[in-house]
Amino acid sequence: MYHFAPRLWDGLRDDVVGRQSKCAGFEPVIAGKLEADLSAQRIYQDLSGESGFAGSYQSVKRYVQKHKACEPRRVWRVESRPGEERQVDFAVGAPIDIGPGKAPRSWVFRVVLSYSCKGYSEVVLRQDMESINRRMLEFLEKCMPRTN
């Protein structure tokens, strides 16, 4: 939830110099729109159309940026047990020079375990299920040895 700090122009501090923001009278409306995760552009459009706001978009943008900086974003951490989850990616690799006029496309196979962030990468020439399964087994054998 967005909580606005006491306005500096309310007489709480006498050493602050500057003008009062045109957004100051719209704090509850802006807070609700920030809570709904609306952009500064959308907030400006809504204020101008619905609330009779006479300020500029730049005024709203500055006001929103100032108050978003005070409110940290929520981060959701996803927990997983060892070996329970992994992420597999393929990326385009560099061409491999195997002779005149022949440069097959290479791929980089990358897998990362979510729990430990332990990763494994290998250059492969094919991106098909057989190749994925073979590389996944190699990864599991190297990174997660069997315990009998």
18 within a domain of the structure (yes/no): yes
pLDDT tens digit sequence for 50-80: 888 888 999 999 988 887 766 666 777 778 8
The structural domain count of the chain equals 2
1 within a domain of the structure (yes/no): no
Could you say which of 42, 70, 98 is where a domain stops?
70
109 within a domain of the structure (yes/no): yes
121 within a domain of the structure (yes/no): yes
Find the DSSP H helices in the chain: 27-35, 40-50, 57-70, 129-143
Check whether residue 58 and residue 97 sit in a common domain: no
Residue whose structure tokens are 């006479």: 54
pLDDT score at 41: 93
User: What is the greatest pairwise CA distance in the chain?
Assistant: 79
Label residue 22 exposed, middle or buried (CB < 10 Å: 0-12, 13-18, 19+). middle
Check whether residue 18 and residue 42 sit in a common domain: yes
pLDDT score at 148: 60
pLDDT tens digit sequence for 108-129: 989 888 888 888 888 888 888 8
Domain that holds residue 47: 8-70
